[in-house]
Amino acid sequence: MDAYINEDAEKSLIGLAMQDAIVAQEVAALPDSIFGLKEMQACQRGIMRLAKQGKNVDLVTLDAEVQCDLQNTALLMECVKMGISPVMSRQYIAILAECAKRRELAALARKILQDVGNPGASVESLQAECATAAQSSAAVDDGVTMKDAVFAFVDSIGKQDGIMSGIADLDNRLGGFKPGQLIYIGARPGVGKTSLAICMAKYVAEHGGGVLMVSLEMNPAEIVARFLANESGVDLQKLSTGKMELSDFERITPCYQAVANLPISIEERAVTPLQIRNAAAKMKASKQGLSLIVVDYIQLMRADEKCGNRTEEVTQISRELKLMAMDLGVPLLCMTQFNRESEKGFGKATRSEPDMSQARDSGAIEQDANVFLILHEPEEPQDANSDRWQMYHNCQANGLTWQTCRIRKNRNGATGVVNLGFDKPHMRYTCLKKD
């Protein structure tokens, strides 16, 4: 098999064309050279002929149209089985277009090598061939047309494509984390942004989504301890120190397998965007797939290339994370710390909630974010008659810490505040009364 032929993408696209009229029109407009398999080229030409005649494209009509060239109905049935979702057609076309370009370049490279060994070929002609190859490799794909964008948008209406975090009030406001989004959670040190991210990752994994956790602050053992505390209800302090009673072991033993089976990959050595991208791409191509990337946290990362200063470095990292989320088509949840300016008033009753502009080292974090969440732990309210005072003391009475999660930025919708009760010993979050 040619290294530059994606058999699965070719068969899936032809299969979709037999099931969806819009995809059939898309395939009819393609050059047959975009397919590397001769059988799929024959199918494309058959689809094009049917489209020109105004006929429907399905298994029966296409089989009749290409039987002289194909002589294999079973192959068409295989294509139909592989074509699952029409929304994937554009992605398949992009894959095949790249493969076709690579086949073209490979053929040109072979010709150039052959001509180099020909004494009759002039240096000028060889240079011209090389220039042609360079120009071809530098070509870029056309942008998305307004027509394509409109159809894609209409097709998405009413479809829930967001990844739910498990924080119900937050999910209701955001509609979940959307593919390609860069979501930041900012907080002062020690407030619990990592804990919140772990709870979200666990919820996604429990509902079948593959999660890549890039932990630059905690080792796998520390992360596992938090997952087990959440699952079992055993105090995290006991799990971390090993000082557990028999009843604790009885509670935690049944939870080992449940946590072990979560589709989560922990990456502790990836510190640059490229390293994370490689790990994410590998996981996405695996059987478990990839639904969410979690990075803890951006200020501990390093850029792939040398930068003039730390601000430039974090700016570059943030942009690369944004492109990574878009290219892979998954949400990327990244933690960020606030700078020293946010610490003013810390520990006082009048301590204010930090702002996203106080993200440490770079203003690009604020700009690049699709969603920016600020996790804050307020001091005890002074007005005993206020709802906030009541919420604070209700949390205290139930062994919870009152926290607010402010949706400070949301490019696609609502902002506001979600009130949370944090059960720190057991790594659990509870939604309180909406603000």
Tell me the per-residue pLDDT of 10-23, one tens digit each, with 9 for 90 and over: 999 999 999 888 78
pLDDT of res. 350? 44
pLDDT, mean of residues 301-310: 83
- 252 or 340, which is more confident? 252
Quick one: fold of 7-146?
A: DNAb Helicase; Chain A (1.10.860)
| Beta-strand pair 332-337/182-187 | parallel
Mean pLDDT of the chain: 83
Tell me the per-residue pLDDT of 246-268, one tens digit each, with 9 for 90 and over: 988 988 898 999 999 999 999 98
pLDDT of res. 263? 94
- At how many degrees (to 10) do helices 38-52 and 21-28 cross? 110
- 412 or 233, which is more confident? 233
Q: Is the pLDDT of residue 130 over 50?
A: yes
pLDDT of res. 384? 79
Q: How far is CA 323 from CA 1, 21, 210, 239, 317, in A?
A: 32, 32, 20, 38, 10
Segments of the chain assigned to CATH 3.40.50.300? 168-431
- Highest mean pLDDT pick, 28-32, 124-128, 150-154: 28-32
pLDDT of res. 360? 61
- Highest mean pLDDT pick, 362-376, 384-398, 414-428: 414-428
Asked if residues 226 and 424 have their Cβ atoms less than 8 Å apart, the reply is: no
Tell me the per-residue pLDDT of 156-186, one tens digit each, with 9 for 90 and over: 555 556 889 999 999 989 989 999 999 999 9
Asked if residues 221 and 299 have their Cβ atoms less than 8 Å apart, the reply is: no
Q: Is the pLDDT of residue 104 over 70?
A: yes
Q: Is the pLDDT of residue 102 over 80?
A: yes
Q: Is the pLDDT of residue 347 over 60?
A: no
pLDDT, mean of residues 212-225: 91
- 254 or 433, which is more confident? 254
Segments of the chain assigned to CATH 1.10.860.10? 7-146
Enumerate residues 6+ apart whose C-beta is below 8 A from 96: 6, 9, 10, 13, 34, 35, 36
Helical residues (DSSP H) of 344-412, grouped into ranges: 364-368, 387-397
pLDDT of res. 349? 41
pLDDT, mean of residues 231-254: 88
Instruction: Provide the percentage of residues in the chain whose pLDDT is more than 90.
Output: 26
Q: In which element (H, E) is residue 92 found?
A: helix 89-116
The residue among 21, 415, 425, 404 whose CA lies nearest residue 186 is 404
Say which CATH class 168-431 falls into.
alpha beta
